[in-house]
Amino acid sequence: MEKAVFAFCLEGTPVQCSPLGNGHINSTYKIVTDKGNEYVLQRINTYVFKNPVGLMNNAGAVTDYIRARVEDPRAALHFLTTKDGAFCHEDEQGEFWRMYDFVDGFCMDAAETPYDFYQSALAFGNFQQMLSEFPAETLVETIPNFHNTVDRYRQFKESVAEDKMGRLAGVKADVDYLLEREEAASRLQNMLEAGELPLRVTHNDTKLNNVLLDKETRKPLCVLDLDTVMPGMSAYDFGDSIRFGAATAAEDEKDLSKMEMDLELFGACVRGFLEAATSLTDKEVEVLPLGAYTITLEQATRFLKDYLDGDVYFKTAYDDHNLVRARTQIKLVQDMEKKMDEMNAIVAKVAAEVRK
């Protein structure tokens, strides 16, 4: 790690390094130098991201693009380059590292108020809006078919058939529940392929804790975790915000009775997203609730697949962590099914107010 730090052009000599954040994929550290400069160092998980150089070129290009158009330099992360002028450093073990300026803010794992959640929706809506003219064809797909739910189901069924760890017998009901919903989960992808929905430059990992907020104003500074910025569907960016942020319990809550989707938070998110992402088509707006539903099903299949595969993708803290996560997602899907009419009505009402 020390060598990685020294590969980048920083000011001062690094004197301190401590773990930072709680992402499921990369490892993150804060670096402080003798001059008081603060940086974030991250090791890119190359099991997940097979093309770290392409990924960092995406992230560098998108953040440079935003920084050139917005006054506040904190509106997008600032990635440092290495002494060789690259956005990432490959060490002797073949590990890839990146570094960016630390910005003093905070992230929330759960919204304390609907206003907080509204703010985060503005941040993700703005991000998409700012990139609405960005040349999407210059971006690499950092994970092919990342939010192609049809393909996620294909992969899920492969893991079910393989049952590598012999865990299938204990999760039959969960597997059946998800398989029964395959047709519904395929609708958005089919609409995309039929040309009914556009492909945009999207963030693709719009969890509330990927928004960095100003400590004083509690307003968003920028969005974090740009590993999956690539062409995608607006409904999924909105949907993943709902899946994580409008949920009444954590992604790994064991007491399923605590897991629901909060309609007030849902409404706050719709408002923020629609106020900021003004270039959405009417069809894109109409399918927002379906986006939330689909991405939650997708996430359930991803967690359950990883459980069946022996926990190789998501970081886990205990044996059946991925199963616990899959079940919270299934509970959320159940609740969304009950509330679908209300979700649709909220979108229609807010859209009528916001989109003039």
237 contributes a contact to ligand GN1 by CB under 6 A: no
CB of 216 to ligand GN1, least distance (A): 25
Q: Using the minimum distance from each CB to ligand GN1, give the nearer residue, 116 or 227.
A: 227
Contact track, ligand GN1, 159-178, x by CB under 6 A: --------------------
Task: Report phi then psi at 333, rounded to 5.
Answer: -60, -45
Give dist(CA 191, CA 175) in Å, integer.
25
CB-nearer residue toward Mg ion: 209 or 328: 209
CA 244/CA 204 separation, integer angstroms:
13
Which of these segments, 162-170, 225-233, 315-323, 339-347, binds Mg ion (CB under 5 A)?
225-233
Nearest C-alpha neighbor of 235 from the set 299, 297, 291: 291
Task: Give the distance from CA 112 to its chain's centroid.
Answer: 20
Q: State in angstroms the smallest separation of the CB of 38 from Mg ion.
A: 22
- Residue 262 sits in the site that holds Mg ion (CB under 5 A): no
Residue 311 interacting with ligand GN1 (CB under 6 A) = no
Site string for ligand GN1, 15-44 (x = CB under 6 A): --------xxx-------------------
The verdict on 284 binding Mg ion (CB under 5 A) reads: no
How far, CA to CA in Å, does 267 sit from each of 3, 187, 213, 260, 287? 48, 23, 21, 15, 15
Nearest distance, CB of residue 302 and Mg ion, angstroms = 12
Asked if 306 is part of the footprint of ligand GN1 (rule: CB under 6 A), the reply reads: no
Q: Which of 55, 114, 130, 205 binds ligand GN1 (CB under 6 A)?
A: 205
Q: Residue 224 Cβ, how far from ligand GN1 at the closest point, in Å?
A: 8
3-state secondary structure of 265: helix
Cβ-Cβ contacts under 8 Å for 36 (sequence gap 6 or more): 12
Query: CA dihedral defined by 216, 221, 226, 228, rounded to 10 degrees?
Result: 90
Cα separation, 37 vs 289, whole angstroms = 43
Q: Which amino acid is at 210?
A: N
Size of the site for ligand GN1 (CB under 6 A): 12
By a kind-dependent CB cut-off of 5 to 8 A, residue 284 interacts, out of ligand GN1, Mg ion, none, with: none
> Closest distance between ligand GN1 and the C-beta of residue 249, in Å?
13
Rg, C-alpha atoms of the chain: 20
Contact status: 188 vs ligand GN1 (CB under 6 A): no
Q: Considering only CA atoms, which of 135, 125, 353, 129 is closest in space to residue 242?
A: 125
Strands (DSSP E) found in 22-110: 27-33, 38-44, 89-90, 96-101
Confirm or reject binding of residue 48 to ligand GN1 (CB under 6 A). Answer: yes
| Residue 205 makes contact with Mg ion by CB under 5 A | yes
Residues within the interface to ligand GN1 (CB under 6 A): 23-25, 48, 205, 207, 210, 225, 227-228, 251, 299
Q: Which residues lie near Mg ion (CB under 5 A)?
A: 205, 225
